[in-house]
Structure 1
Amino acid sequence: MYVKTHPPVTVLYSQHQTTLPQLSQYIGTVVKDLCAEAVHHNALISGAPLWIYHGMDGKPDTVFTLTIAIPIQGQFQPSRFAIKQLPAFRAVTHTHEGAWDTLAETYQEVMHHIDAHKIPMTEECREVYLNIDFQQQQYNVTQVQMGVI
């Protein structure tokens, strides 16, 4: 676990108002659609998919903003999505290996580290999906990034 400032990145993205129980409807589908749009416009997909959470507090009924994005290089006019540059992002970063049903444990570890070191947090967190394997979930690799000041 470490604090790192991640560089700015240009992304093709889709934004949603959702709750924790509703997240499953976005798994696999939105990223495929984003990739198809980027390929259609001959853009380079230049990084791993991101899920960016704003205002999520871990409670099942809280509505928050979810941005699903893929880093790209190349300018074009998207038909279904939008393009923006994400600013540099300072975060406590920790890698989760394995099934996503144990991701909450990784978040607890990160939160414990933040609390123990009295690091002020922002309201943004990100998940970067370094490896996605729906058939053998033990091979998933997800980088959890909790925004800090």
Structure 2
Amino acid sequence: MEIKTHPPVTVLYSSHQTTLNTLHQYVGTVLQDLLAEAANQKALISGPVYWVYHGSDGKPDTEFTLEIALPVQGMSTSGKFGVKQLPPFKALVHEHVGAWEDLPSVYGQLLKFIDDRKIAINDECREIYVNIDFQDPRNNITTVQMGVL
């Protein structure tokens, strides 16, 4: 685990009000729509998909904002989705290799690290899906970023 500041990134994105209990409805489907829109606009896909969580407190029924974002270049507008620049992001970072069902324990480790060192956090977390493998989830690579002040 380490604290890093990530540079800004331009994304094509879709925003949703959801809970941890209802996240599953967005897995795969929104990404396919974002990829199709980027292809239709002849944009360059410049990175892996991000899930940006605003206001999630880890409780399964708390509503929060989820942005599913695809880094792109050569695209300034979209008729179907938003286009914006994610600002620089200072975060505690951990790379997780394996099933997404194990991500709650990753967040537990991050929170313990933060608590032990009295690090102030903000209300944003990001998951960057470096590799997605629906056939063998042990091959998933997810970078978890917990926003710090």
CA apart distance, 1:21: 0.7
TM-score (norm 2): 0.98
Provide the aligned C-alpha RMSD in A.
Answer: 0.7
Query: How far apart, in 2, do the equivalents of 1:54 and 1:9 lie?
Result: 17
5+ residue gaps, structure 2? none
CA contact (8 A) 1:50 1:128 kept: yes
Percent of aligned pairs sharing the same letter: 58
Query: How far apart, in 1, do the equivalents of 2:143 and 2:6 lie?
Result: 12
CA apart distance, 1:60: 1.2
Report how many residues are paired: 149
CA apart distance, 1:44: 0.3
Query: How far apart, in 2, do the equivalents of 1:25 and 1:90 lie?
Result: 29
Aligned AA (1:49): V
- Secondary structure of 2:77's counterpart equals coil
**In the alignment, is residue 127 of structure 1 matched against residue 127 of structure 2?**
yes
Q: Match of 1:91? A: 91
CA contact (8 A) 1:121 1:147 kept: yes
Q: Match of 1:28? A: 28
Deviation string for 1:107-128 (max 9, x for gaps)?
A: 1111111111111000000000
Deviating 4+ runs (over 6 angstroms): none
5+ residue gaps, structure 1? none
- Secondary structure of 1:60's counterpart equals coil
Deviation string for 1:34-87 (max 9, x for gaps)?
A: 011001110000011000000000111110000000000012431210100010
Query: How far apart, in 1, do the equivalents of 2:107 and 2:31 lie?
Result: 23
Q: Match of 2:109? A: 109
Query: How far apart, in 2, do the equivalents of 1:70 and 1:19 lie?
Result: 21
CA contact (8 A) 1:41 1:76 kept: no
Query: How far apart, in 2, do the equivalents of 1:18 and 1:47 lie?
Result: 24
Q: Match of 1:69? A: 69
